[in-house]
Amino acid sequence: MEKDSDKAIIIGAGIAGIAAAIRLAVRGYSVTVFEAGRHPGGKLSEIKSDGFRFDAGPSLFTMPQYVDELFTLAGKDPREHYKYLKLDKVCKYFFEDGARINAYADLQKFAAEVEHHTQDTKESVLNFLDKSAEIYHITDPVFLQRSLHKWKNYFNKTTLRSLLRFSRIDAFRTMNQANSSKFADSKTIRLFNRYATYNGSNPYQAPATLNVIPHFEQHFGAYFPEGGMYSIIRALTNLAIDCGVKFQFETYIDQIVLDGKKAKGVRSGQSMHPADIIVSNMDIWYTYRTLLKHVKAPENILGQERSSSALIFYWGISGSFPELDLHNIFFTEDYEDEFRQIWERKDIAMDPTIYLNISSKIEKSDAPPGKENWFTMINVPSNSGQNWDKLIESARNNIIAKLTRILNREIETLIVSEQILDPRKIDSQTFSFQGSLYGSSSNSQFAAFLRHANFSSKIEGLYFAGGSVHPGGGIPLALLSAKIVDELVK
């Protein structure tokens, strides 16, 4: 137990910041979280408009054990504070030729479904998922659960065993090369290439190591939290408050204050807030550029290629679509060109792949009776000065035309409410540089080693959590970043 006087400050109330606050409070720190916005959650927020409710950010919930662990650490039963159900169907995939593939949670059913709709066999899918599991078991103890930037972490039996099996994680082929060698049908290849987008990367550049991601869904399962994704933030914020954490919203931090090479607090306006340790849950780029202006920044890290961003239309739909599920994907026929447009031309393809999330399929109160809330998203480049107003107008027309064509039903006339989120707003609202969702991309074999560490090697008492640092973006990895910080502080 730490001394009562030990103080910790968290900059940013994203899910990693809240998780770090809980972990430090449980160990006796007096914790204050400063958040520039009016509400906690960061990218994991919600929108309410015209009787519709939308989860504004992440919409897929996997690895719920990492959330449960926070309640357990605080001595509470997680099921008394938030509940979730396991999905029987992870996602539904739509193709231009009319094929519709259900990604069942049951591996045998899923593999049989792929075999029924493609040229690929059930055995090829099961073998692929076995390989995904192998990559997970090799990488989890080394890349996900620990800091990669402490030499001592490499000198234990578990880590050494994983490093000796490094060749098995398929780091020297691209994801597309690996998947094209395992499957014959373009539909199956696209289905599994899509997982590169889970951390904002390009399957035609990113290493096949990212084929670990399907294991999270197909082995551990996909879930839906009662009340929608934002209920996770509400539950964790309440848990943090129960643990004694204080939140200060609408409070901008202007500077991390140093005493020599030691972090001693933060400055907000004219106010100085002292602390023994500081955890920045802010994008690492903004942390250095705005809060550590007088510290030499790691330019090689800050200059890395950014991850992709997103363009999201939150549509209130006057009507219901029984053929749609909670998670739906409408594929383009030319997947490679879509990524070429994003990464080489910094543009949006004319025929983008569409992700459509409809939480009202399960949470009925998210839309008025007889209506649905459509979270309609496409992957787009990060903001480098494009004419976004023009791109948004064109993309909106193309998305509506595609959905109308595949669903054989006029869509535009059913839209009765609309909100839009683009890279510019993602940047300004969540301090995510250029609107990139995951910090840097994973478009190289050693990207995992090149993310910023969870601690400062130059400033004592300064730590980093969130999707822009190790181990990466997405809810599970953001929560793990907080766990790694906790271990480093301890």
DSSP string, 29-44: -EEEEE-SSSSSBTTS
- Token pair of 469 as six digits: 């640092």
Residue 12's region, left for phi above 0, alpha for psi from -120 to 50, else beta, is: left
Range of the domain at 354: 308-437
Question: CA-CA distances (angstroms) from residue 189 to 163, 183, 192, 203, 361?
Answer: 28, 6, 5, 10, 28
pLDDT greater than 50 at residue 144: yes
In terms of domains, do 79 and 144 share one?
no
Report whether 416 contacts 367 (CB < 8 A).
no
Summarize the confidence of residues 183-187 as an average pLDDT: 98
In a domain, 410, yes or no: yes
Q: Could you tell me which residues are beta bridge partners of residue 354?
A: 330
Q: What is the pTM of this model?
A: 0.95
pLDDT greater than 70 at residue 161: no
In a domain, 98, yes or no: no
Please give the torsion angle defined by the CA atoms of residues 160, 301, 258 and 251, in that order, rounded to the nearest 10 degrees: -110
Q: Considering its fold, how many domains does the chain have in total?
A: 3
In terms of domains, do 180 and 288 share one?
no
When pLDDT is cut at 50, 70 and 90, the band that residue 340 belongs to is very high
Reported as a single tens digit per residue, the pLDDT across 6-48 is 999 999 999 999 999 999 999 999 999 999 999 999 999 999 9
When pLDDT is cut at 50, 70 and 90, the band that residue 447 belongs to is confident
Q: What is the rounded average pLDDT for all residues in the chain?
A: 94
In terms of domains, do 130 and 79 share one?
no
**CATH label of the domain that carries residue 402:** 3.30.519
In a domain, 117, yes or no: no
In a domain, 333, yes or no: yes
In terms of domains, do 248 and 355 share one?
no
> Tokens 């998922």 belong to which residue?
129
In a domain, 95, yes or no: no
In terms of domains, do 200 and 179 share one?
yes
In terms of domains, do 216 and 230 share one?
no
Reported as a single tens digit per residue, the pLDDT across 384-438 is 999 999 999 999 999 999 999 999 999 999 999 999 999 999 999 999 999 999 9
Q: Which segment of 216-220, 286-290, 345-349 scores lowest on mean pLDDT?
A: 216-220
Q: Which of 220, 247, 270 is the last residue of a domain?
A: 220
**CATH label of the domain that carries residue 296:** 3.50.50.60
In terms of domains, do 13 and 130 share one?
no
In terms of domains, do 387 and 360 share one?
yes
pLDDT greater than 80 at residue 155: no
In terms of domains, do 173 and 67 share one?
no
In terms of domains, do 431 and 320 share one?
yes
Q: Which of 185, 220, 255 is the last residue of a domain?
A: 220
In a domain, 118, yes or no: no
In terms of domains, do 297 and 317 share one?
no
In a domain, 399, yes or no: yes
In a domain, 179, yes or no: yes
- Torsional sign, CA 279, 255, 14, 381: negative
Question: CA-CA distances (angstroms) from residue 465 to 26, 59, 251?
Answer: 17, 21, 19
Q: Which range is most confident: 168-172, 217-221, 311-315, 449-453?
A: 311-315
In terms of domains, do 393 and 295 share one?
no
Looking at residue 3, its pLDDT comes to: 46
